[in-house]
Amino acid sequence: MNEFAGFAHRRDIPSMPIDLRSDTVTKPTPGMRAAMAVADVGDDERDGDPTTRRLEERVAKMLGKEDSLFFPSGVMANQAAVWLLAPRATEVLADVDAHIVHSEIAGVAALAGAQILAVVPDGAGRVMSADDLRRAFRPRSRYYPAPGLVCVENTHNGAGGVIVPLGDFCEMCAIAREHGIPVHLDGARLWNASIASGVSLPELAAPADTVMVDLSKGLGAPIGAMLAGTREAMERAWTARKLFGGAMRQSGILAAAALYALDHQLARLADDHANARDMAEALQGIPGVEIVSPDTNIVMVDLLAGQSVADLAASAKEHGVLVSEWSSTRIRLVTHIDVSADDCRRAATVLRSALTRGH
């Protein structure tokens, strides 16, 4: 008998809440735990871990890049890309609501010696467009910082899991090339963008110099992210990872979880997207509430009539549903492998009741 057969999948435990705060809250499945237990490992810092190298080769091939490097987190991988691509005292152009702007603790300044130039969409779209980016470049002047890097996020978390259209991304990369600077793609949920849009991962990644993909979000691995690019870039990224304290030893235990996720939990992202759409539809029509239509697995709920986000979250929690307080007027709901279609229906019922009472 498999010694891991006794591990219950988290959502098999009725007393556990329905956790929609993020797709990072997933727990390893029994199969994933078993794969981790039997992983072939080595000292990745000294000789190279065989399972980690298998993961790096596989992800590089999936993204159509020469090589990739395993990182402890997406933030570290993003910051390594900035460190190796953006010269010091330059600026990184990124969407005003991008993860790298709001959720990486000023790492661009602290680690790479660059600054963010936040690009504000003109209102026609929810995320930075090619036209927005073109307008954001400053005139060349001895008084202004020179542009050093463009960073694009796909899917765009803060806008509600929005997919950046491939054509627009290609145009943004062309604009960056006109200015002589590289492009980094923060593709933490690029897997979701590919599954939802039907555009292949290599097509989505091709225009960028480097691309980060996360393993611990929709794929459900417990830890890790990948940075991909040329072999030369990944050699330099290895130095950045070491500098940032990200060197790992028997990392194959974690890489095995990621390989299992790629084998068993990639195609099922479509289920998360369907659950998000169904939940969004179930919440439509509540007075004073606006539902941002989801492209992928993130549903943003805007409270327009003065309801308290904190009160709503507290009420939902009392009824076994956890949500993210995204701003003073917005909650975020994220579907993932540990919430079923039935869970999402129940969560929508709880939230609709709380929102209706709040109004």
Mean pLDDT across 201-222? 97
Question: What per-residue confidence (pLDDT) applies to 359?
Answer: 56
Question: What per-residue confidence (pLDDT) applies to 358?
Answer: 57
Q: What percent of the chain has pLDDT over 90?
A: 91
Question: What per-residue confidence (pLDDT) applies to 348?
Answer: 97
Q: What percent of the chain has pLDDT over 70?
A: 95
Confidence of residue 307 (pLDDT cuts 50, 70, 90): confident
3-state secondary structure of 88: coil
Mean pLDDT across 59-73? 98
Query: Is 27's pLDDT higher than 50?
Result: yes
Question: What per-residue confidence (pLDDT) applies to 5?
Answer: 39
Query: Is 58's pLDDT higher than 70?
Result: yes
- CA-CA distance, 152 to 188, in Å (whole number)? 11
Query: Is 333's pLDDT higher than 70?
Result: yes
Q: What is the pLDDT of residues 317-329, one digit of tens each?
A: 999 999 999 999 9
Contact between residue 129 and residue 123 where contact means Cβ atoms under 8 Å apart: no
Query: Is 14's pLDDT higher than 60?
Result: no
Taking CA atoms, 261 is separated from 31, 186, 192, 212, 222, in Å, by 10, 20, 14, 17, 10
Cβ-based burial of 274 (10 A; exposed 0-12, middle 13-18, buried ≥19): middle
The total number of residues shown for the chain amounts to: 359
Contact between residue 185 and residue 219 where contact means Cβ atoms under 8 Å apart: no
Mean pLDDT across 325-339? 97
Q: Concatenate the DSSP letters of all residues of 169-199 into one string.
A: HHHHHHHHHHTT--EEEEETTHHHHHHHH--
Looking at every residue in the chain, the average pLDDT score rounds to 94
Question: What per-residue confidence (pLDDT) applies to 176?
Answer: 98
| Cα 287 → chain centroid | 31
Q: What is the pLDDT of residues 105-141, one digit of tens each?
A: 999 999 999 999 999 998 777 899 999 999 999 999 9
pTM of the predicted protein model: 0.93
Confidence of residue 357 (pLDDT cuts 50, 70, 90): confident
Q: Is the dihedral of CA 71, 77, 81, 83 positive or negative?
A: negative
- CA-CA distance, 141 to 179, in Å (whole number)? 14
Taking CA atoms, 180 is separated from 131, 148, 208, 256, 269, in Å, by 18, 8, 13, 39, 36
Domains contained in the chain, CATH given: 10-27+267-358 (3.90.1150.10), 30-264 (3.40.640.10)
Mean pLDDT across 172-188? 98
Confidence of residue 15 (pLDDT cuts 50, 70, 90): low
185, β-bridge pairs: 152, 211
